[in-house]
Amino acid sequence: MGLDKLIGVDKIPFFPPEASTFAREIDVLYLVTWLLTILFLGIVVAMLGVLAFIYRRKSKADRSHPIHTHHGIELAWSIIPMLLGLVIFVWGAKLYADAYKVPDNAEEIFVVGKQWMWHIQHTNGIRENNTLTVPTGRPFKLTCISQDVIHSFFIPAFRIKRDVLPGSYTSAWFEATLPGKYHLFCAEYCGTEHSRMTGTVNVLTPEDYQRWLDQKGSKEEVEPKAVRAKTMEEEGQEIFETVGCSNCHTPDTTPRAPSLYAIYGKKRQMQNGEILTADRNYLRTNILQPNDKVTAGYEATMPVYQGNLTEEQVNSLLAYIKSLGTSEEPKPAGGEVKIKNGKVVKPAQAPKAINSTQGGN
Ligand code: CUA
């Protein structure tokens, strides 16, 4: 019999359902902490009552030899609670580490918080509003960002909650275990409609999830209806070309600006000598505010995209940039640049428009 069954954690009616891999263990730890608190409260209150009764006024109890020091008792009430506290600490730290360490095989889902709704982007292009649809039995990584104020993405049934910040990505992960519909909340006061910034997590069996993914164009509709446009990479490539990234950031335009091919995850040296890693946060900042940190060897000529791209578009753009590889710099071939998924990007047009009309600084 496991500890969870022993303390009956599965029989407590007012707990949210346990629908993720770490929900049960978190509940057990919570209940053990709670039971220990009750136990020690009980001991203290019971002794208070008993001693108050024994030594009540006018009782005949022996008061002639009051105890001033008792090393045995003092050591016991110091060491036992300390050991129990350490057990809770180590146990809690392990669970915390498990909850934050995203497994390598986790699939990514993007969460954008905004006043006052949740927007979800799946890498295959499906978009959802205030609904998150996932299958059981597969780990998912949530990459979250806010487009205005601080929100907090909270799924009680999964026992996960992560702050969603403007200007910086945060992440969380889970693996759902139990099909069903669960609550999704914003757990950070974010303005007038905060309490209505809620939604539904729709956990499907792997088969239902596959049907949900495939439903575009099929007669059979699976709730909630999936809205799919292009994949994030395809949308990102379109943005890459339409907003002008491709004018300066392909391997054959490198005299003007660093190539974005194979940049993802690389170490970059800035003009001020600082070495930064080209991760999500770095790339996002350098798209929106490119002149704050300029790569060594280049001029600050890139236009500022802050306000011109939504967080969803940045997510797609980063998906595309990530798809350009992380290791080898592809070489320009005969004025045409081949990219990973086999499509060909035409060589850059004159970048004059960007430089002269919008100019860096
Ligand atoms: Cu968003 Cu509270």
- Ligand 1 centre from 133 Cα, in Å? 20
Report the percentage of the chain scoring pLDDT > 90. Answer: 42
Assess whether the C-beta atom of 108 lies below 6 angstroms from ligand 1.
no
- Ligand 1 centre from 170 Cα, in Å? 15
- Ligand 1 centre from 162 Cα, in Å? 12
**Selection from 131, 130, 138 nearest residue 108 by Cα:** 138
Whether 162 and 142 have beta carbons less than 8 Å apart is answered as yes
Sequence ranges of the chain with CATH classification 1.10.287: 3-56+67-100
- For the CA of 194, the nearest atom of ligand 1: 2
Whether 243 and 308 have beta carbons less than 8 Å apart is answered as yes
Comparing 350 with 75, the larger pLDDT belongs to 75
Two tokens, residue 211: 């049907």
Query: What secondary structure does DSSP assign to 14-50, as a single string?
Result: TSPP--BTTHHHHHHHHHHHHHHHHHHHHHHHHHHHH
CATH class of 3-56+67-100: mainly alpha
- For the CA of 187, the nearest atom of ligand 1: 2
- Say what the pTM is: 0.76
Task: Spell out the alpha helix ranges (H) of 194-310.
Answer: 206-214, 232-242, 245-248, 280-288
* Residue type at position 334: G
Task: Spell out the alpha helix ranges (H) of the chain.
Answer: 3-6, 23-54, 71-100, 206-214, 232-242, 245-248, 280-288, 311-323, 352-353
Q: What pLDDT digit, counting tens, does each position of 185-230 carry?
A: 999 999 999 999 999 999 999 998 888 887 654 444 555 566 666 8
> Which residue, chain included where needed, has tokens 């996002």?
284
CATH class of 232-353: mainly alpha
Assess whether the C-beta atom of 188 lies below 6 angstroms from ligand 1.
yes
Q: What pLDDT digit, counting tens, does each position of 108-133 carry?
A: 999 999 999 999 998 888 888 899 99
Assess whether the C-beta atom of 184 lies below 6 angstroms from ligand 1.
no
**Selection from 307, 342, 349 nearest residue 233 by Cα:** 342
Sequence ranges of the chain with CATH classification 2.60.40.420: 107-228
CATH number of 107-228: 2.60.40.420
Mean pLDDT for 304-308 is 79
